[in-house]
Structure 1
Amino acid sequence: MQDQSKKWLYLVILALIWGSSFILIKKSLMGLSPFQLGALRTIITGLILFSVGARSLRTIERSRWKYVILSGFLGSFIPAFLFAIAETEIDSAVTSILNSLVPLNAILLGFAIFKIGFTKRQMAGVIIGFIGTSVLVFRGAEVNPEQNYLYAGFIIVSTVMYALNVNIIKRYLQDVKPLAIATGNYVGIILPAIFVLLYSDFFSSETFNHPDFEMSMLYVGILSLFGTAMAKVIFNTLVQISTPVFASSVTYLMPIVALSWGLLDGEDLGWLQLLASAIILFGVYLANRKKR
Structure 2
Amino acid sequence: MKKTAWLAFCFLGFIWGSNFIFVKWAAEYITPAQITLLRVVFGFLPVFLFALSRGELRWSHARHVHHFAVMALVATALYYFAFAKGTALLPSSIAGMLSGAIPLFTFVCAFLFLREERITATKAVGVALGFLGVLLIAQPWSVGGDIEMAGVAWMIAGTFSVGCSFVYARKFVSPLKLPAAALTTYQIGIAMLLLFMVIPVEGIGAVFADDRAWIGLVIGLGLCGTGLAYVAYYHIVENLGALAASSVTYIPPVVALVIGVVFVGEAIQLIGYLAMCLILAGVALLQFGSRKVAPEVEPDAGVGLAPAGKAP
TM-score by length of 2: 0.78
Q: Give the corresponding residue for 1:279.
A: 278
- Alpha-carbon spacing, 1:160–1:8, altered in 2? closer, same or farther (3 Å): farther
1:155-201 per-residue CA deviation (whole Å, 9 max, x = no partner) reads 1111122223334445533743232122111231112222344x242
Q: CA deviation at 1:58?
A: 0.9
Q: Give the corresponding residue for 1:28.
A: 26
Counterpart amino acid of residue 281 in structure 2: F
Q: CA deviation at 1:286?
A: 1.3
Q: Is the 8 A contact 2:47 2:231 kept in 1?
A: no
Q: Is the 8 A contact 1:182 1:236 kept in 2?
A: no
Q: Which of 210, 215, 219 is residue 212 of structure 2 equivalent to?
A: 215
What are the residue-to-residue correspondences of 1:1-292 with 2, within 5 Å?
A: 1=1, 10-54=8-52, 56-58=56-58, 61-118=61-118, 119-138=120-139, 145=145, 147-170=147-170, 172-173=173-174, 175-197=177-199, 199-202=200-203, 208=206, 212-222=209-219, 223-235=221-233, 242-243=241-242, 247-263=245-261, 264-289=263-288, 290-291=291-292
- Alpha-carbon spacing, 1:139–1:6, altered in 2? closer, same or farther (3 Å): farther
> How much is the aligned-residue C-alpha RMSD, in angstroms?
3.1
1:137-161 per-residue CA deviation (whole Å, 9 max, x = no partner) reads 117967x835523311111111122
Distance between the aligned counterparts of 2:6 and 2:66, measured in 1?
A: 30
Identity of aligned residues (%): 24
Q: CA deviation at 1:48?
A: 4.2
Distance between the aligned counterparts of 1:115 and 1:218, measured in 2?
A: 44
Distance between the aligned counterparts of 2:208 and 2:190, measured in 1?
A: 34
Higher mean Cα deviation, 166-175 or 94-103? 166-175
Q: CA deviation at 1:16?
A: 1.5
Higher mean Cα deviation, 172-181 or 95-104? 172-181
Higher mean Cα deviation, 150-159 or 104-113? 104-113
1:8-46 per-residue CA deviation (whole Å, 9 max, x = no partner) reads 665443212211111111112222221221111122222
Counterpart amino acid of residue 79 in structure 1: Y
1:206-258 per-residue CA deviation (whole Å, 9 max, x = no partner) reads x54x7944432222111100000111233356568745x76554321111111
Q: Per the alignment, in what secondary structure is the counterpart of residue 57 of structure 2?
A: helix
Q: Give the corresponding residue for 2:298.
A: none
TM-score by length of 1: 0.83
Q: Is the 8 A contact 1:103 1:163 kept in 2?
A: yes
Higher mean Cα deviation, 263-272 or 65-74? 65-74
1:24-82 per-residue CA deviation (whole Å, 9 max, x = no partner) reads 11112222221221111122222443345355321763454333332222222112211
Distance between the aligned counterparts of 1:237 and 1:173, measured in 2?
A: 19
Consecutive unaligned residues of structure 2, counting only runs of 5 or more, are: 296-312
Q: Is the 8 A contact 2:45 2:227 kept in 1?
A: no
- Alpha-carbon spacing, 1:235–1:169, altered in 2? closer, same or farther (3 Å): farther
Q: Is the 8 A contact 2:100 2:280 kept in 1?
A: yes
Distance between the aligned counterparts of 1:62 and 1:239, measured in 2?
A: 26
